[in-house]
Amino acid sequence: MGHDLVIRGGRVVTGGAVVEADIGITEGRIAALGHGFDGAEVVRAEGLLATPGGVDPHCHIEQMSGMGLMNADTFETATRSAAMGGTTSVISFAAQAKGQRLSDAVADYATRAARGAAVDHAFHISVSDPSVPAFEDDLRALIAAGHRSIKVFTTYNIKLEDADILGILRIAGEAGALTCIHAENDAIIGAARARLLAEGRTRPIDHAASRPREAEIEAVARMCRLAEVTRAPVMIFHVSTAEAVAEIAAARARGAPIWAETCPHYLFQTEDVLDRPGTEGAKWMCSPPQRTKADQAALWAGLAAGHLQIVSSDHAPYRFDETGKFSNGRDAPFPAIANGMPGLEPRLPLMFDAMVSGGRLGPAGFARLTAEAPAALYGLPGKGRIAPGYDADLVLWDMGRAVTYGADDLHDNVGYNPWEGTTVTGWPVATYLRGQAVMREGDYLGQPGAGRWLMRAGIGTRPADIMGTSR
Ligand code: DUC
Ligand code: ZN
Ligand code: ZN
């Protein structure tokens, strides 16, 4: 029997190995891996490597920040950018405004995503105000409806107190949801910021000193203990320091249900990116800030050891102008400059360059950190692997093609590329979403609204039995 589509003659990352196989695709799913398949459409993939479509579980899309600033990307532009870089599933945030019911926040984001998203998507329920009416009932109902992750902050003006985080963890643990935490100690940051401003240190580079590593270390350690006492699963977002990796490793060794991610900007950039002339460094401002080479080595070691399981983008798009980074003026001091940079599109190429071309953890490790582990940990059973029964979400890579990023060559709506001048070896030449090409040879073929909302399965205290992540 013929398939709808056969990807013929390539090498395929599957089951922790690289094999030569045709991929037979029927009705949007992978039907078989093997040889000699017929298909209504046949794509020649000799010399190419097929990896699972990227699953990016941490991206800010069409979201209002805590500072009241809208992201530069809509669902349409962010998911276009995702597809161009090989990512086929995103989990962004349904951000509760203070005073807003959770159910209203999720309905608002879901409506906009259904209209604009060109790749498959889900939401973290981002909590800023647990005092609103029906908070607990709404949270339980949303989790039961398939929104199986929650986001809380220990800093910013949307910070929650430990007592509130404990309450949310108890509900999430019982109801089968994963709680994701931005973990930095707010008091340490507040004191450092006040001291710097008093000294007249207001430039983007001073942002790094305003978020001392101890702020992350303390909050990560504390959140690990909250997970331990509630037995509720926790995902520590964007780990940046060696000491935080050690805290997570120790908590996991004690049996705490802790998982963690880091991002390309912590693996490949150091704090000196912030120290460009004038306000140029604002392009790279994010929280936590980039750290040191020693931290990069510790993050890689943490990924290799399985203490950290995921590399996400933390795509947080703001233009380098008055609509974004400089919404408070061109000379705004660092606390008034929006945090974040675009990352949805370059995440896979940067990681492919390091891991597949550069040999760090290899093709199977690349597939695990960028697709398989996020799909497993966030309850996306049909995503993240090239195997029969899974959605036919694939990326085809030209392994020999070297590309140097330019100033404005991403397909988001941000207008600058924080990786300008970086050369990657290995380039995505086609992206398939459920068997449909959404990118081919640099041409975007996606359709706004074609992405599906992903109802997610329950998440237990042992979210996934995948290499290096289960306890
Ligand atoms: N830090 C965050 O916490 N969120 C968005 C972007 C950033 O840099
Ligand atoms: Zn964060
Ligand atoms: Zn974020």
Position 353 in a domain? yes
Q: What's the pLDDT at 457?
A: 84
Q: Tell me the mean pLDDT in the region 179-202.
A: 98
Q: What is the pTM of this model?
A: 0.97
Residue 265 Cβ contacting ligand 1 at under 6 Å: no
Query: Which residues have CB under 8 Å from 200's CB, separation 6+?
Result: none
82 and 44 in one domain?
A: no
Strand segments (E) across 22-155: 22-26, 29-34, 39-44, 48-52, 54-56, 87-95, 120-126, 149-153
> Which CATH number characterizes residue 71's domain?
3.20.20.140
424 and 335 in one domain?
A: no
pLDDT classification of 465: cutoffs 50, 70, 90? very low
Q: What is the share, in percent, of the chain residues with pLDDT greater than 70?
A: 97
Q: Tell me the mean pLDDT in the region 385-401.
A: 98
If you average pLDDT over every residue of the chain, what do you get?
96
In residues, how long is the chain?
Answer: 471
Residues β-bridged to residue 151:
126, 180
Position 381 in a domain? no
256 and 131 in one domain?
A: yes
199 and 330 in one domain?
A: yes
pLDDT, tens digit, 9 for 90 and up, residues 284-312: 999 999 999 999 999 999 999 999 999 99
Residue 283 Cβ contacting ligand 1 at under 6 Å: no
Q: Tokens for 329?
A: 């003026």
Position 457 in a domain? no
Ligand 3 midpoint to CA 315 (Å): 7
Residues β-bridged to residue 29:
26, 391
**Rounded to 5 degrees, what are φ and ψ at 80?**
-60, -45
393 and 311 in one domain?
A: no
190 and 84 in one domain?
A: yes
Interior/surface letters 141-176, b for 16+ CB within 10 angstroms, e for the rest: ebbeeebbbbbbbbbbebbbeeebbebbbebbbebb
pLDDT, tens digit, 9 for 90 and up, residues 325-343: 999 999 999 999 999 999 9
Could you give the CA distance from residue 170 to residue 46 in angstroms, rounded to a whole number?
Answer: 51
Residue 338 Cβ contacting ligand 1 at under 6 Å: no
pLDDT classification of 464: cutoffs 50, 70, 90? low
The count of C-alpha atoms lying within 13 angstroms of the C-alpha of 44, restricted to the half-sphere facing its C-beta, is: 2
Q: What's the pLDDT at 460?
A: 74
Ligand 3 midpoint to CA 44 (Å): 38
pLDDT at 357 over 80: yes
Residue 181 Cβ contacting ligand 1 at under 6 Å: no
76 and 22 in one domain?
A: no
Q: What's the pLDDT at 463?
A: 57
Could you give the CA distance from residue 334 to residue 332 in angstroms, rounded to a whole number?
Answer: 6
pLDDT, tens digit, 9 for 90 and up, residues 107-138: 999 999 999 999 999 999 999 999 999 999 99
195 and 332 in one domain?
A: yes
345 and 265 in one domain?
A: yes
Residue 113: how many CB atoms within 10 A of its CB? 26
Ligand 2 midpoint to CA 314 (Å): 7
Ligand 3 midpoint to CA 19 (Å): 35
Could you give the CA distance from residue 98 to residue 130 in angstroms, rounded to a whole number?
Answer: 9
Q: What's the pLDDT at 419?
A: 98
pLDDT, tens digit, 9 for 90 and up, residues 212-247: 999 999 999 999 999 999 999 999 999 999 999 999
Torsion sign (Cα): 436, 439, 444, 450: positive
Residue 314 Cβ contacting ligand 1 at under 6 Å: yes
Q: What's the pLDDT at 66?
A: 79
Show the domain range for 240.
54-364
Q: What's the pLDDT at 470?
A: 40
Residue 316 Cβ contacting ligand 1 at under 6 Å: yes
H or E stretch including 208? helix 204-210
Position 471 in a domain? no
Q: Tell me the mean pLDDT in the region 355-375.
A: 98
Q: What's the pLDDT at 263?
A: 99
44 and 62 in one domain?
A: no
Q: What's the pLDDT at 461?
A: 67
Position 466 in a domain? no
Q: What's the pLDDT at 467?
A: 46
Neighbours of ion ligand 3 (CB under 5 A): 314
Chain centroid to Cα 303, Å, comes to 15
Count the domains in the chain: 2
DSSP 158-177: T---HHHHHHHHHHHHHHT-
Could you give the CA distance from residue 78 to residue 351 in angstroms, rounded to a whole number?
Answer: 19
Residues β-bridged to residue 256:
none
Q: Tell me the mean pLDDT in the region 140-164.
A: 97
Position 432 in a domain? yes
> Which CATH number characterizes residue 30's domain?
2.30.40.10
Position 206 in a domain? yes
440 and 344 in one domain?
A: no
**Rounded to 5 degrees, what are φ and ψ at 220?**
-65, -45
46 and 153 in one domain?
A: no
Could you give the CA distance from residue 301 to residue 67 in angstroms, rounded to a whole number?
Answer: 35
Position 119 in a domain? yes
